[in-house]
Copies of this chain bind each other. A is one copy, B any other.
């Protein structure tokens, strides 16, 4: 056995490409953020749902057409077909939290309340080429209302999203929830007499509004334009008269919701679907006021075009408006951290019945990055008080000290490595981010005292102080053993 093992090459200690581990504060900071969001969702009547990570490829659906490569985009495998055991089904890791919600809404349609408000937080997996900062497992955080056709459901989710952002620490004024409506765009296309076969092209071009601006989109909708590299991009072929209402739509944001809605009514002309879309936005605007969500928190904004191709009604996006420095040191707005909207056909694949639904997804990693950029995550000292071991035979004394500190609610641990080299113990305390080290040798034990070393102050003195100051060791004080907890409290506050 031992011989065999020697012959085998050692396995590589590596995560698979595109996967990563989360250590310490990575875990607690994300958890604290998600807990705050969950509290807001809970208070709005949303129930948690945790689906299994594994689904049948059949239920996930999106990837069915590619029968030869059912694992394109997903991690999939075929179960062995064993009598009484494996089914021979293709199984896969969920690639988002919406597809499992569709399956649940269909599977439990007779048991779930209707409408069903649920939130879900957890990892999803994508079988994509990994790259810098692009991982194949990442967190999503979704809230959806299934079974309500009322735009009150959409308004509620926008208000809840604003509340959630404030709950994690984003100040009012540092974010905005922008709301648009696919139906208004449909009305605009109708008003502009855009042919059905051109609609998809128009959608693709207005998606570039953020990047190329009004004139760029005008060119793309009509005769085409050259991009930065000089390559010619073909236009959709609309006349300028046809493009005008589309541009009016994109730029119809006014000084307030009332003005924006007036502009939109003009842009949709006589289109019935367009009028319906504008009415829905007006109703959402009214509901937001009713929920005490002012326009500085959530606002009608027709320049939101992301997702317009996917959603069927209201579309929303949350943007952080404060500036951060990018990789090259340039100031830029932090940008989008959440998006969502109303969609059809969620449950229809399974049951044949149309079930209206609306929802939002928060980009967990992006929002956490924003909190870190603003100093809103991970500011608290997380390291434990480290009780060092001067005398291996008095481990029980050291454990008593740690237990006393813990009983007082203070995070504390005894050094459990080889105690021989005391310098290693202080290096360890440093690595742990500990605020305080406790030291008690035989001499101190005999005198009934302990040394309490302020590691934060100690580090500052080591960096800044003169030799005399350093020798005075103001960071280390001797206290009676009975005052241990009080002395540590004085330092960590």
Contacts and interface: CB of A to CB of B under 8 A. Distances in A.
A428 B400 CA distance: 55
Contact of A129 (B84, B91, B153): B84
A77 to B, nearest CB: 4
A348 to B, nearest CB: 9
A123 B156 contact: no
B49 A21 contact: yes
A152 B416 contact: yes
A291 interface: yes
A352 B51 CA distance: 40
State the copy count for this chain. Answer: 2
Contact of A11 (B11, B51, B53, B61): B61
A403 B291 contact: yes
Contacts of A14: 56, 59, 103, 107
Interface in A2-55: 10-17, 19-24, 26-28, 31, 42-45, 47-55
Interface in A285-337: 286-287, 289-292
Contact of A114 (B77, B287, B400, B417): B417
A55 B412 contact: no
Contacts of A43: 406, 409-412
A20 B414 CA distance: 41
B150 A395 contact: yes
Contacts of A49: 21-24, 27
Contacts of A402: 291
Contacts of A75: 54, 77, 91
Interface in A257-302: 283, 286-287, 289-292
B56 A400 contact: no
Nearest to A10: B350
Interface string A78-100: 01100011010101010000001
Interface in A112-171: 113-115, 117, 123, 125, 129, 136-137, 145, 147-150, 152-153, 155-156, 159
A278 to B, nearest CB: 17
A187 interface: no
Contacts of A85: 129
A140 to B, nearest CB: 14
Contacts of A471: none
Nearest to A430: B113
A289 B395 CA distance: 12
Contacts of A240: none
Contacts of A80: 71
A420 to B, nearest CB: 12
Nearest to A40: B406
Interface of A: 10-17, 19-24, 26-28, 31, 42-45, 47-56, 58-59, 61, 64, 71, 75-77, 79-80, 84-85, 87, 89, 91, 93, 100, 103-104, 106-108, 113-115, 117, 123, 125, 129, 136-137, 145, 147-150, 152-153, 155-156, 159, 283, 286-287, 289-292, 349-352, 384, 386, 395-397, 399-400, 402-403, 406-407, 409-414, 416-418, 428, 431-432
7 contacts: A11-B64, A17-B87, A20-B52, A22-B50, A23-B49, A45-B411, A152-B395
